[in-house]
Amino acid sequence: MLEAMRAATQGWIGRIIMAIVMGFIILSFAIWGIGDIFRGFGANKLAEVGGEEITTDTFRNAYQTELQRVQRQARRAITNEEAKRFGLDRQVLSRLLSEAALNQETHALGLAMNDSEIAKAIANDPSFKGPDGQFDHARFDELLRDNGLNEKAFVRDQRGFYLRHELVDPLTAGLQLPKAMLEAIHRFEAETRSVDFVILPASSVGPVASPPEDELRKYFEDRKLGYSSPEYRSLVTLTLTPESIATPQNVSDADAQKRYDETKGDKFGSPEKRAIEQIIFPDDAAAKAARDKLDAGASFDDIVKDRGLTLKDVSLGLVTRAQLIDKDAADIAFALPEGAVSAPVKTRFGAALIRVTKIEPSSVKPFAEVADEIKRDIAIERARAEIGRLHDAIEDQRASGKSLAEAAKSAGLEARTIAAVDAAGKNPSGAPVAGLTNGPALLKAAFVSDVGVDNDTLTLPQGGYQWFEVAKIDKARQKTFEEARPDVEKAWRDDETAKLLSAKTVDMSKRLEVGEPLASVAASEGNLEVKHANDVKRSGGKDLPANAVAQMFNVGVGGVGSARLDDGGRLVFRILDAVVPPIDFADPALVAIGGEVKKTYSDDLLAQYLGALQNEFGVKVNMRALAAATGAADAY
């Protein structure tokens, strides 16, 4: 039930109905009350519903079973404290209280189920069937062991399960939604509207005069909490990577040429490719006979047809030598001239004839074109050997009390000073700090450090090290009026523009409401372009913002409205037509929504019934025992 309620809240229909459901539940408790549900008593019993007890062991077993199920779904361990925050303990308690109340009612009504019916139900349970579709007693025993149950206890639990279902299933059996509700849902989902509209840009109100000083200051004072400066930190950083210390200019042309000669075929060129076709024969004799036909004047295509194949069937595509898994076939294929057909070849798939229909020769970039890239690669490789030595040299200098800048200088490197950066990596002007290596990790470490702290060295994901020192901290603070003046004045102008634009929109709407054509109103406002949109649904319309679409469904046909746009402008519209297609009660989308609503109604009915039963029988819960059973750190 909880899963269904959770799923129901995913759509708008679900949210509306859930609001109704919760209202009913609250009302039911107001009528029936909750009695002594949270009054504690002896620690040996965790809860009691009428005459049925829920022991601490019963709750603990049910709670651990549910916790393990949640952990399997989450694929991670979940602590008791986490589970408590998720409300897992309350969910398990609610289920056990509900089951106990239903058990009391089944006893009161005299409901019973004989052993043969229980056995038949268990035998028909798909969980216990083997590969042959029949009841598998070995599988039955295995599942019981896995869940810490014996057969006697399981049969007892199943008896209660089936009796409870016999009690509650009739409550919702045959429940049907009113057609009027389905029609309302269909109308909401399927209605389309045609609309004419114009876009009134913010610039249409003209320039806004500068505000008086006292008015601007008052505007700031009323909103001063919105104008603050984040904490900034001045950092000294040193990043040591192979790339940062590589010196390509020190790599000789001879070394680069040698590397080029060793790798040019693989790295700086593309290998030869050939379009290859291959006909496989059942034996050597058949392959030789086909070759004889070729020698007698038949074509390769004729042989393909004789074999009942097509050229697509025999094509291996445009491939390199390495892409052919049969080495003997590759050697033959890459030795043939273009258009030639081989003699019979023994391949791993049988005797074959091979034809080459196209040859793309290999190509290699000249040394001059890739020399800089090769030198850079060689320099980086050499620099990797230097990383360890430089790391140790810098650490030795820092251990002797040198600052990071001094340690870097002694190693022939230069530290970088970042004058001011906030936790998001931006400078005081709001722009990202350029060239911030390892930014997220560096900023996270820097903003939990302090001035004068000897920070741990950061290891870079791409290889290398990074050191940092916090040189200065400027705490977050409220901006003064003078500091915030540019932003305050802009915000004031934007607000004034919005007011003037809103007033103009109201005037335009009034003219439209008395019957003036939209084209006439648009022309008088600076020859605005009148646009049209068809088939607008509540779910959205082409190039129309969601808030505007919502407004378009808040007025009737012929109605007028407006909506604000993200750029500060406004959209003014008139509804021309609204169409609701004929309802099809068999439409899958409508059936799905109807099923969701029906399930929510069923859950609501069941919740009210359970509330009434619990009130009738009386519910008591020992909250200390509940806390102890879940291993929670604190009592409820």
424-442 pLDDT, tens digit each: 999 998 899 999 999 999 9
Total count of domains within the chain: 5
Q: Are residues 410 and 447 in the same domain?
A: yes
Strand order in the sheet with 560-564: 531-536, 192-200, 570-579, 560-564
pLDDT at 632: 57
Choice between 51 and 373, residue whose per-residue pLDDT is larger: 373
Q: Could you tell me if residue 182 is inside a domain? A: no
Q: Are residues 90 and 170 in the same domain?
A: yes
Average pLDDT, the chain: 85
Of the spans 16-20, 132-136, 151-155, 456-460, which averages the highest pLDDT? 456-460
Question: At residue 2, does pLDDT exceed 80?
Answer: no
Dist. CA 419–CA 621, nearest whole Å: 61
pLDDT at 447: 95
pLDDT at 579: 93
The string of pLDDT tens digits covering residues 28-77 is 333 333 333 334 445 567 888 888 888 888 888 888 888 888 888 878 88
pLDDT at 81: 80
Q: Could you tell me if residue 624 is inside a domain? A: yes
Stretch 154-161: mean pLDDT: 79
Dist. CA 550–CA 562, nearest whole Å: 10
Please say which residue of 478, 505, 537 terminates a domain.
Answer: 478
Q: Are residues 386 and 355 in the same domain?
A: no
Q: Calculate what percentage of the chain has a pLDDT beyond 70.
A: 91
Q: Calculate what percentage of the chain has a pLDDT beyond 90.
A: 45
Angle, helices 56-74/88-109, rounded to nearest 10 degrees: 130
Q: Could you tell me if residue 584 is inside a domain? A: no
CATH number for the domain spanning 375: value is 3.10.50
Question: At residue 634, does pLDDT exceed 60?
Answer: no
Q: Could you tell me if residue 598 is inside a domain? A: no
Q: Could you tell me if residue 204 is inside a domain? A: yes
Stretch 602-622: mean pLDDT: 85
CATH number for the domain spanning 327: value is 3.10.50.40
Q: Could you tell me if residue 343 is inside a domain? A: yes
Domain span at 515: 192-220+485-579
Look at the alpha carbons of 575, 577, 583, 584 in this order and tell me if their dihedral is positive or negative: negative
pLDDT at 237: 96
Residue 320, CA distances (Å) to 150, 237, 330, 339 in order = 64, 49, 9, 17
Stretch 452-479: mean pLDDT: 92
The string of pLDDT tens digits covering residues 478-522 is 999 999 999 999 999 999 999 999 999 999 999 999 999 999 999
Dist. CA 621–CA 46, nearest whole Å: 6
* Element (DSSP H or E) covering residue 52: strand 52-55
The string of pLDDT tens digits covering residues 547-587 is 999 999 999 999 999 999 988 899 999 999 999 999 888 88
Q: Are residues 78 and 110 in the same domain?
A: yes
Q: Could you tell me if residue 59 is inside a domain? A: yes
Cβ contact 24:597 at 8 Å: no
The pTM (predicted TM-score) of the whole model is: 0.49
Question: At residue 266, does pLDDT exceed 80?
Answer: no
pLDDT at 44: 63
pLDDT at 631: 67
Please say which residue of 443, 462, 478 terminates a domain.
Answer: 478
Q: Are residues 353 and 447 in the same domain?
A: no
Question: At residue 109, does pLDDT exceed 90?
Answer: no
Q: Are residues 524 and 552 in the same domain?
A: yes
pLDDT at 111: 79
Q: What Rg, from alpha-carbon coordinates, does the chain have?
A: 40
Please say which residue of 428, 456, 478 terminates a domain.
Answer: 478
Q: Are residues 35 and 70 in the same domain?
A: no
Cβ contact 435:445 at 8 Å: no
Choice between 142 and 295, residue whose per-residue pLDDT is larger: 295
Q: Are residues 88 and 164 in the same domain?
A: yes
Q: Return the ∠ at Cα 473 (arms to 469 and 474), rounded to 5°.
A: 155
pLDDT at 553: 93
Stretch 313-339: mean pLDDT: 90
pLDDT at 500: 92
Q: Are residues 164 and 85 in the same domain?
A: yes
Confidence category of residue 26, pLDDT binned at 50, 70, 90 = very low
Q: Are residues 154 and 216 in the same domain?
A: no
Find the length of the chain. Answer: 636
The string of pLDDT tens digits covering residues 248-265 is 999 999 999 998 888 876
Confidence category of residue 11, pLDDT binned at 50, 70, 90 = very low
Q: Could you tell me if residue 84 is inside a domain? A: yes
Q: Are residues 29 and 53 in the same domain?
A: no
Stretch 282-286: mean pLDDT: 91
Q: Are residues 236 and 307 in the same domain?
A: no
Question: At residue 338, does pLDDT exceed 80?
Answer: yes
